[in-house]
Amino acid sequence: MILYHGSPFLFDKFNLSGAGEGTGIKFGFGVYLTEAEASAVHYSQPRNLELMPEHYLYTVEIPDLTEDNHLTSALPVSPIILNKVEEKLGVSAPEKVKTQGKEFRKWVGMTLTGSQKAGFAEEKAAAELLNSLDVLYNAWPTAQTKPDGPKNIAVFDAANVRIIKRERIDIENKCKKWVLTDRKEI
């Protein structure tokens, strides 16, 4: 599956040591990718920061999504994933968290850490457990009003992301959205 990632940093491989610093972890711990190149371009400029001097667009490849290797934020959890997680944790998931991947992911993290609230530690714990069970991703639509449109994906383990092209890009702000004005492969 071919996806994109935008960043103000040039690198040769993904690393999760800075996870959450750019756009946060609202959709889980991991490398944030998108099917929409324009979204990756927009996110090459971290929000709430002065314009960064450089911007890069990464074209990447990950294994294809299957029923048993990802959660979808607003959809029910696959029975295959549910069974694997419940067996590993030794507890049954509450019915209310089975209906949305987002709530299930948070429940997994809170169950692992004993916390009553999902934060960074809980998201990281959930990502590590899920990845160990071959649940590699969390997916959500780029626009909540278009659930069948392009997807965003958080990859729980950077080793599952292969860079196939890096480009230095120039961007400009048009109507509060960063857009591509020029590109050069590096």
| Rounded distance between C-alpha atoms, residue 102 and residue 96, angstroms | 11
- Do 153 and 171 lie in one domain? The reply is yes
- Confidence band for 17, pLDDT divided at 50, 70 and 90: confident
The residues, ordered by sequence, that sit 6+ positions from 55 with a Cβ below 8 Å of its Cβ are 6, 7, 8, 41, 44, 45, 168, 169, 170, 171
Averaged pLDDT, 94-123: 96
Per DSSP, 160 falls in state G
- Do 146 and 178 lie in one domain? The reply is yes
- Do 6 and 59 lie in one domain? The reply is yes
116-153 pLDDT tens trace: 999 999 999 999 999 999 999 999 998 766 767 889 99
| Rounded distance between C-alpha atoms, residue 17 and residue 14, angstroms | 9
* Sign (positive or negative) of CA dihedral 143, 57, 172, 31: positive
- Do 49 and 102 lie in one domain? The reply is no
| Rounded distance between C-alpha atoms, residue 186 and residue 59, angstroms | 12
Higher pLDDT, 17 or 89: 89
- Do 22 and 55 lie in one domain? The reply is yes
Task: 119-122: list long-range contacts, CB under 8 Å, 24+ apart.
Answer: 120/20, 120/25, 120/29
Q: What is the pTM of this model?
A: 0.92
- Do 50 and 13 lie in one domain? The reply is yes
- Do 131 and 156 lie in one domain? The reply is no
- Do 75 and 130 lie in one domain? The reply is yes
46-91 pLDDT tens trace: 887 889 999 999 999 999 999 999 999 989 999 999 999 999 999 9
Total count of domains within the chain? 2
- Do 102 and 129 lie in one domain? The reply is yes
- Do 48 and 78 lie in one domain? The reply is no
The mean pLDDT value of the chain amounts to 93
By residue range, what is the domain housing residue 97? 70-135
Quote the tokens at residue 18.
């800075």
- Do 81 and 101 lie in one domain? The reply is yes
- Do 46 and 80 lie in one domain? The reply is no
Closest by CA to 73, choosing from 95, 116, 107, 104, is 104
| Rounded distance between C-alpha atoms, residue 18 and residue 30, angstroms | 10
pLDDT at 46: 87
Quote the tokens at residue 81.
């994933």
In this model, does residue 177 exceed pLDDT 80?
Answer: yes
The strand order across the sheet containing 137-141 reads 70-72, 137-141, 151-155, 31-34, 2-7, 55-61, 162-174, 177-185
pLDDT at 25: 78
- Confidence band for 26, pLDDT divided at 50, 70 and 90: confident
Percent of the chain with pLDDT over 70: 95
